[in-house]
Amino acid sequence: MSKENTLNRFDELDAGRILGDLTSNETSEWQLLARDNENSNYIDLELLATELELQFTQPCDLSSSLSNKLADTIPAFSNKNKQKSATQIISILPWLGWATAACLLVLFNIPESSIPSAVPELTYAQKLDSLTKEAPETQRLAFSPASDPYNNISGEVIWNDERQEGYMSLVNLPVNDPTQSQYQLWIVDPERDELPVDGGVFDISSGSETAVIPIRNALKVFKPVAFVITLEQPGGVVKSKQEIVVALAKS
């Protein structure tokens, strides 16, 4: 192969690398050519591809949970050696209180009933009730089924813009197997974005006809006009293909 042909071939493969479409064989070929190709050190093609992509990239706000996760990782960046222990400390913290209490129980054989209990946490149903009573401007929308297997579904969504708090009260939503699929709520807020905001992933376990589910909006929403429940893969998705739309509530 002439030098010019080699350069052309390298360019084509490098474009493939940048576009992410190299096959395994092409990857090996790229590596081979990159070793001999003096132009392989330049990234102009990759810069161009990045700029073309960024041209059409509308920055999309990070959820507060991810933003916090990233910020929490910074101290670990600064000292790699401490990274593991730092992570361990973070993950252990929530359990520390319970572990201490358990140790005390074992060591001193304290009857469980004698330990002062914390202020009882309200159930979601109670929180929903409280939100409705305390915040009169709270929005209430009825859910209606969106596809055949879910025809028996009913319920409503309760949402308060100011508090950024809301709940769904769902009746007859079929039980799901979380290892196979999970329900996910989407909040449609045209004032915010044309893409719906993730409202959280949830499961319906057996034994309850009516389930009260808290809304866990990843981003702040301003004036939601619709709430959509879809069935997604375990863990939820970033963008729903809306292959299985379960129920819809709209104003």
Partner 1 sequence: MHFRDYILFSNIRSFEIALGIMPPSESQGSNKTYLLPLVAKGDEAAMKKCIDSYGSLVWSIVCRRINERVDAEEACQEIFTEVWRIASRFNSKVSKESTFIGMIARRRSIDWQRKQNRLPALSTLESLPELSSSNAQSIHSLDRNEIWEKLRTLPEDTLTLFSLHFEKGMTHEEISKETDIALGTVKTKLRRGLIEARKLLKEFSDGKGVSL
Q: Least Å distance between CB 227 and partner 1?
A: 18
Confirm or reject binding of residue 176 to partner 1 (CB under 8 A).
no
Q: Least Å distance between CB 75 and partner 1?
A: 7
The stretch near partner 1 (CB under 8 A) out of 23-31, 140-148, 153-161, 202-210 is 23-31
Element housing 103 (H / E): helix 80-108
Confirm or reject binding of residue 16 to partner 1 (CB under 8 A).
yes
Say if residues 6 and 33 touch (Cβ distance below 8 Å). Answer: yes
DSSP H stretches of helix in 164-227: none
Nearer to partner 1, 137 or 177 (CB): 177
Strands of the sheet containing 139-142, edge to edge, are 139-142, 154-160, 165-171, 210-214
Which residues are CB-contacts of 138 (< 8 A; sequence separation ≥ 6)?
A: 131, 132, 158, 159, 160
Write out the two tokens for 147.
């596809």
- At 107 the three-state DSSP class reads helix
The stretch near partner 1 (CB under 8 A) out of 22-30, 88-96, 153-161, 223-231 is 22-30
Nearer to partner 1, 88 or 100 (CB): 88
Nearer to partner 1, 87 or 147 (CB): 87
Query: What Rg do the C-alpha atoms of the chain give, in angstroms?
Result: 26
- Out of 2, 4, 5, 20, name the contact with partner 1 by CB under 8 A: 20
Nearer to partner 1, 9 or 127 (CB): 9
The stretch near partner 1 (CB under 8 A) out of 36-44, 98-106, 125-133, 204-212 is 36-44
d(C-alpha 163, C-alpha 131), whole Å: 9
Give me the 45-64 binding string for partner 1, x by CB under 8 A, dash otherwise. xxxxxxxxxxxxxxxxxx--
Element housing 7 (H / E): helix 3-19
Say if residues 204 and 157 touch (Cβ distance below 8 Å). Answer: no
d(C-alpha 176, C-alpha 161), whole Å: 29
Confirm or reject binding of residue 15 to partner 1 (CB under 8 A).
yes
Q: Site residues for partner 1, window 199-228 (CB under 8 A)? A: 201
Largest CA distance in the chain: 87
The stretch near partner 1 (CB under 8 A) out of 35-43, 93-101, 113-121, 162-170 is 35-43
Nearer to partner 1, 43 or 99 (CB): 43
Say if residues 147 and 140 touch (Cβ distance below 8 Å). Answer: no
Q: Which residues bind partner 1 (CB under 8 A)?
A: 11-12, 15-24, 27, 30-31, 34-35, 40-62, 66-67, 69-71, 73-75, 77-78, 198, 201, 233, 235-239
